[in-house]
Structure 1
């Protein structure tokens, strides 16, 4: 694999050209990232430290989701914060490729994981008598492995294709991160076919999976007619959290990827929501709507206070 690039670094224009605005946004993003990091770590620890939760596929997937949100946010936010606070503009070609790989790796893995979580809820609500035999730990491990493998294959394919492009002209990226479409615009060759391929692999797949998830949750909600009022309320609470996370993840993903390969001014705001705010919101969505998670988080928090 030989790269024809003559460019050794890229210049990221960031979110604003105003130094005061940059520092303000950098401080806000730093505070959000601290809360995001702490919230996701707290959920992971709360589930791992609770044998009852750790033995449940739903909470095992939730811990994995929090880990992915933590990794996804960490692949973008720290670099962006440093650039905003210290007014750094450059990133090396290698770091740019690593960030692009990480975005697609963790994002692709999360797509598959959210699908597995929807299947878990379908089996739990629509086939409760067979749940323990279907959703055993072996199947959970296989689904997690498939999620990792699927995310890796998607990201490595994107990297291989981008790495073959010649970057020999402009090196200014009007963005705060190294994303696929801005990089395609800088390539010194016709990227029309590659752009269509990117829309097909990322955008249309997001649309198809999103629609499949909406249909599956529709089937789940329709089946709740036969449940008792208590069971219906608990299932609605759990599915409501899942649907909220699915919408928060897929809507920005579809907006960014499922369109012709060009950049728009609003892309930066959508990416901020997608990479900074969504990983922050997910832990709170699950914590506030799930009694078991809240109780486990409280226990972990009390232990931390006692240690202090």
Structure 2
């Protein structure tokens, strides 16, 4: 396999080092990376294709699934192609502008996904607690508007991150020990004062993760209260079963990112390659599993996917 020995020729270039300490295993690490990425693309594009083709699926719940699929595709695509170039060809250089652009799009899509998960929790709340008003409260147009609001919020929250990093001076050592331009990893190679960057990072983490998790928790708190008022055990199971897929997706999405954020800031004794592997798993595993979970747990989608799969 071809090898490129690239070094930065000027101050406008960073070097992404992949996974430090595991360089000799980069080829082997690329196997699950590429496998997960391909499965993710196939699964999420299948969801988009089936929902588009089937008019019976043109409902708020499935429009939200399409939004989730788009964010899954966006998150993994922002990272995996460049990571594979590092693993396969040692193509490690990236311009400063390219680095900040990757950072912006990745974090915007991740923030947008969090908004989609909040909207999905609200969708389940309305479906269980206000079933007679579901079609009037959640229309396709309203879901589209909520998606637009989530996108605007994501752009406004994330845009200052690369802009604040752009103003920082960087040291002679422009080596980023990561597979992608993660804000904390880029901050660590700066020679300037990063206090403002770190403060803003904590604020956005609070606004996005803590606030969104609180809203999701409130939705499920009201769902549980409504379910407990139902006397029939069969109705209990049916109501909770409609939430199972979303709960699984939510746990997979938030648990790794929370753990990764906490270990980056407070887990000083944890090896660098563990930090980086965790950060990459967050971008690889949920996008791969989300369409599988919804395909298995949602009967309407499962039946339609089965219909098109059998035709192939």
Q: TM-score, normalised by structure 1?
A: 0.90
Q: Work out the CA distance in 1 between the residues paired with 2:217 and 2:227.
A: 16
3-state SS in 1 of match to 2:11: coil
Does structure 1 residue 70 correspond to structure 2 residue 60?
A: no
Q: Answer yes or no: is the 8 Å Cα contact 1:7–1:168 preserved in 2.
A: no
3-state SS in 2 of match to 1:11: strand
Q: Answer yes or no: is the 8 Å Cα contact 1:57–1:137 preserved in 2.
A: yes
Q: Counterparts of 1:130-149 in structure 2 under 5 Å?
A: 130-149=133-152
Does structure 1 residue 252 correspond to structure 2 residue 250?
A: no
Q: Work out the CA distance in 1 between the residues paired with 2:28 and 2:122.
A: 42
Q: Answer yes or no: is the 8 Å Cα contact 1:126–1:220 preserved in 2.
A: yes
Q: Out of 276, 279, 291, which is 1:283 matched to? A: 291
Does structure 1 residue 129 correspond to structure 2 residue 141?
A: no
The equivalent of 2:153 in structure 1 is: 150
Q: Answer yes or no: is the 8 Å Cα contact 1:203–1:257 preserved in 2.
A: no
Q: Answer yes or no: is the 8 Å Cα contact 1:199–1:260 preserved in 2.
A: no
Q: Work out the CA distance in 2 between the residues paired with 1:201 and 1:43.
A: 31
Q: Work out the CA distance in 1 between the residues paired with 2:148 and 2:235.
A: 31
The equivalent of 1:24 in structure 2 is: 28
Q: Work out the CA distance in 2 between the residues paired with 1:224 and 1:112.
A: 25
Q: Out of 211, 224, 238, which is 1:208 matched to? A: 211
Q: Work out the CA distance in 2 between the residues paired with 1:78 and 1:179.
A: 15
The equivalent of 1:3 in structure 2 is: none
Q: State the 1:188 CA deviation.
A: 1.8
Q: Work out the CA distance in 2 between the residues paired with 1:258 and 1:155.
A: 19
Does structure 1 residue 35 correspond to structure 2 residue 43?
A: no
Q: Counterparts of 1:91-240 in structure 2 under 5 Å?
A: 91-203=94-206, 205-227=208-230, 228-240=232-244
Q: State the 1:229 CA deviation.
A: 4.7
Greater Cα offset, 248-257 or 122-131 = 248-257
Q: State the 1:244 CA deviation.
A: 1.3
The equivalent of 2:3 in structure 1 is: none
Q: State the 1:16 CA deviation.
A: 4.6
3-state SS in 2 of match to 1:91: strand
Q: State the 1:37 CA deviation.
A: 0.4
The equivalent of 2:280 in structure 1 is: 272
Q: Work out the CA distance in 2 between the residues paired with 1:144 and 1:175.
A: 31
Q: State the 1:172 CA deviation.
A: 0.7
Q: Work out the CA distance in 2 between the residues paired with 1:134 and 1:126.
A: 12
Q: Work out the CA distance in 2 between the residues paired with 1:82 and 1:167.
A: 24
Q: Answer yes or no: is the 8 Å Cα contact 1:46–1:297 preserved in 2.
A: yes
3-state SS in 2 of match to 1:76: helix
Q: Answer yes or no: is the 8 Å Cα contact 1:203–1:253 preserved in 2.
A: no
Q: TM-score, normalised by structure 2?
A: 0.89
Q: State the 1:202 CA deviation.
A: 1.8
The equivalent of 1:10 in structure 2 is: 14
Does structure 1 residue 60 correspond to structure 2 residue 68?
A: no
Q: State the 1:51 CA deviation.
A: 0.9
Q: Answer yes or no: is the 8 Å Cα contact 2:85–2:92 preserved in 1.
A: no
Structure 1, residues 219-267: CA drift from partner, whole Å, max 9, x if none? Answer: 2123123445554333322211111111111122223345775775232
Q: Give the unaligned 5+ runs of structure 2.
A: 1-9
3-state SS in 2 of match to 1:176: coil
Q: Work out the CA distance in 2 between the residues paired with 1:64 and 1:279.
A: 12
Task: Give the length in aligned residue pairs.
Answer: 298
3-state SS in 2 of match to 1:10: strand
Q: Give the unaligned 5+ runs of structure 1.
A: 1-5
3-state SS in 2 of match to 1:149: helix
